[in-house]
Amino acid sequence: MTKLTAYGRLAARFRRIATIGECASMLGWDAAAVMPPGGGAARGDQLAALAVLHHEHLLAPEAAADLAAAEPSDEWEAANLRLMRHAYARAKALPADVVEAQAKANSNCEQVWRIARKQADYKQVQPHFSEVLNLTREAAAALSAELGLSPYDALMDGYQRGIGTDDVAALFAAYEDFLATALPQVEEYQARQPAPMRPAGPFPIPVQQNLCRDIAQRLGLDFAHARLDESAHPFSGGTQTDVRITTRYLEEDFTSAILAVVHETGHALYEQGLPSAYARLPVGEAAGMAVHESQSLIVEMQAFRSDAFLGWLGSRLHTTFGGEPELYCTENMGPLWRHVERNFIRVDADELTYPAHVILRFRLERAMIDGTLSAADLPGAWNDGFQALLGITPPDDAKGCLQDIHWYDGTFGYFPSYTLGAMAAAQLMQAARAQIPDLDTAFGRGDLSPLLAWLRVHVHGVGSRLDLNAILEQATRHKLDLRAFQEHLRERYLNMAGRAEARGPL
């Protein structure tokens, strides 16, 4: 048997660590999709045990010795080794008892949050959330000292490398200025147009389930290595060879189920397109959550909600549900599915106002981590911030600070990825359109394959060998910026509005 080098031993170790992570991912999917309510406490213990095991394998003395001695033989191994050393530094910063305490507190708080949200009662979850927040602050401080980053930047680093608070704050401030002008203009235009017609239900859920599966498969999802299930909050999880996506169904409206499936399919396509030669190694993983979000949004927002794709979808919807053909024409579907409205709920927001929801969360979680905002004061700060950004105040906690699972399961530093991903998606689509002839012709056939093939080369197949900005520079010749996203929004909501005015009302 050939004796492994230091690098070879590290590769074997990190594949084992990744397998432990896969087990935790599957338990997380199970908790959201099929676990009975009474299983929450035991599930917290299971996840905590896996978190400690993951931590112990990473911090074994042999790992430290191999990390010091390993030599890469090519650029992939060099990138892999950098990522391994970074993962080790993050793990070394956190004592095992903190890792275990966080896993248990996060799981417990999430279960209480589910009840509190249903009852719109933040006070039920507040003491549990206080524990989660205190542990997160403790972890952030430890990571800060090890990585030489601010506590909040150290948390963001765990989700998207290479993007810091200053970068995000500048992009978000520029977007807020853009929104202050663009939103009233779009609202004024919409107010002068006839309201789009909404198809009337009921739309049987079994029919929706079949349709959603067919759409995901049409977009390129390989169901030999994927499942589509139902959960309270749509998400994508699992592993590269066993992707799990979920959606939620409403009998009176098929829109939310379809759009959630399309969004999560974008995530799943990225996972299935990652470089299989580096599976279960850091360099073979997704390049961060902003990159991941760019892949869901380039499919859902950039491609699927385009006029060309809606033309294909409208025909499919009419065949499936019947009714008047006019309900499903692009002239009706476009205004219906791209309607701009100030909304309390992030996951229901349109793409123009969605970044305001993220900007609010970015500001609040920074304040919570630096200690200037307590768990007790979160509801009031949320309502004040929402009023300042969008001019409306949530009527209750369920439509305010309880609407998202993220903070209650200990996820801090993640939210910026949503809007950074939207910006990156616009940059990538702009470049793809310049390089792929007749892309809209393919969309008009319901065919995503030309775009998917381009993404396989420029994003998916890169894995984590490059970070967000390097991926964008290679694919679009620019680091992340706001220009392409603003141009996309102007074209879809302002320039198109101007052309519609010239044609007259629909």
- Average pLDDT of 73-81? 98
Distance CA 42, CA 19 (A): 21
- CA separation, residue 237 to residues 168, 210, 292, 405, 410 (Å): 26, 21, 12, 15, 17
The pLDDT tens digits for 310-338 are 999 999 999 999 999 999 999 999 999 99
| Active-site position among 22, 110, 264, 365 | 264
HSE (side-chain half, CA atoms, 13 Å) at 170:
7
Domain membership of residue 53 as a residue range: 6-150
- Is 274 part of any domain? yes
pLDDT higher than 60, residue 176: yes
The pLDDT tens digits for 49-71 are 998 899 999 999 999 999 999 99
- Is 1 part of any domain? no
- Is 239 part of any domain? yes
- Is 159 part of any domain? no
Domain boundary among 121, 150, 179: 150
- Is 495 part of any domain? yes
- Is 161 part of any domain? no
Both 72 and 184 in one domain: the answer is no
Distance CA 337, CA 77 (A): 45
Both 117 and 216 in one domain: the answer is no
Both 281 and 421 in one domain: the answer is yes
Both 211 and 262 in one domain: the answer is yes
- Per-residue pLDDT, 3: 78
- Per-residue pLDDT, 2: 62
Length of the chain: 506
Structure tokens at 272: 């299935």
What percent of the chain stands above pLDDT 70? 97
Residue appearing with tokens 């006839």: 194
Both 138 and 222 in one domain: the answer is no
- When pLDDT is cut at 50, 70 and 90, the band that residue 40 belongs to is confident
Tally of structural domains, the chain:
2
Both 58 and 117 in one domain: the answer is yes
- Per-residue pLDDT, 502: 43
Structure tokens at 391: 């001019």
- Catalytic site includes residue 62: no
Lowest average pLDDT, out of 236-245, 379-388, 392-401, goes to 236-245
- Is 157 part of any domain? no
Give residue 232's identity as a one-letter amino acid code. Answer: A
Backbone φ and ψ of 246, nearest 5°: -135, 160
Both 138 and 186 in one domain: the answer is no
Distance CA 434, CA 425 (A): 14
CA quadruple 359, 117, 206, 223: dihedral positive or negative? Answer: positive
430 neighbors 487 (Cβ within 8 angstroms): yes
- Per-residue pLDDT, 255: 94
155 neighbors 136 (Cβ within 8 angstroms): yes
Both 133 and 176 in one domain: the answer is no
| Among 345, 321, 292, residue whose Cα is nearest residue 463 | 292
Give residue 288's identity as a one-letter amino acid code. Answer: G
Domain boundary among 150, 182, 200: 150
Please, which residues bridge with residue 245 across strands? 228, 236
Lowest average pLDDT, out of 41-55, 280-294, 438-452, 461-475, goes to 41-55
Distance CA 220, CA 441 (A): 17
- Is 160 part of any domain? no
- Per-residue pLDDT, 258: 97
- Per-residue pLDDT, 504: 41
Both 196 and 224 in one domain: the answer is yes
Distance CA 114, CA 341 (A): 27
Both 17 and 92 in one domain: the answer is yes
Structure tokens at 436: 């792929």
Domain boundary among 150, 182, 215: 150
- Per-residue pLDDT, 505: 37
Please, which residues bridge with residue 228 across strands? 245
- When pLDDT is cut at 50, 70 and 90, the band that residue 1 belongs to is very low
Both 205 and 145 in one domain: the answer is no
Both 41 and 172 in one domain: the answer is no
The pLDDT tens digits for 84-101 are 999 999 999 999 899 899
Distance CA 297, CA 305 (A): 10
- Average pLDDT of 451-468? 98
How far is residue 1 CA from its own chain's centroid?
44
The pLDDT tens digits for 295-312 are 999 999 999 999 999 999
The pLDDT tens digits for 98-146 are 989 998 999 999 999 999 999 999 999 999 999 999 999 999 999 999 9
Cα 413–Cα 432–Cα 266 angle in degrees, nearest 5: 45
pLDDT higher than 70, residue 506: no
- What does pLDDT average to over the chain? 94
What CATH number is associated with residue 463?
1.10.1370.30
